[in-house]
Amino acid sequence: MMTLVLPASKSSDRFGHTGPVSLSGPVDGWQLMDTSRLTRAFVTGASGFIGSNLADRLLAAGFSVVGYDNFTTGRREFIAEALRHPEFKLIEGDVLDTARTAAAMAGCDIVFHFAANADVRFGLQHPRKDLEQNTIATFSVLEAMRTSGVRDIAFSSTGSIYGEADVFPTPETAPFPIQTSLYGCLEACRRRPHYGL
């Protein structure tokens, strides 16, 4: 796994953060990604809380950004600042549509995958929705990357993968207890090494 640390912005973002952003945190054994060759980023879930903040930071760091979202849960006001930036392009689409996703990410150097259904509480009431929007959607993004020739991906996970952990804060090396949510279980599946990348 790799981590990408973006430089601190000159001014605070809309949530008051001013320091450097680490997308995975400093974890022993992880490497910093060489971003010198990366210039164009594809962000799924770009109108969500995390995706929109990342898009703003990437733009501030000099990246061109393609934001991709179906606006199921995202908010247009989250990307208002990005929409005013000349290096931001918004494409409305669903990551489950692999061909459309592949076409949208063509020419990008890296994918930041944040599109997901994060509804932890009601996952057992709609397991197909969780499976499709988390695990199958991630497969679709990976397949779109394969066909588009994009080799680098970064995505976040969640503390939900640890179920009801015994240690707080919970380190990434903590053992996986019995899962307490379908969302946490599916997110744990997404963290496994992926094919061909």
Residue 126 carries which side chain, given as an amino acid letter? H
Residue 8 near residue 20 (C-beta atoms within 8 A): yes
Residue of 68, 162, 183, 195 with catalytic role: 183
Per DSSP, the residues of 107-136 read: T-SEEEE-------TTGGGSHHHHIIIIII
Please give the Cα distance from 111 to 155 (Å, whole number). 8
> Under 8 Å CB-to-CB from 53, ≥6 apart: which residues?
13, 15, 17, 21
Residue 162 is a catalytic residue? no
Active site (catalytic) residues:
183
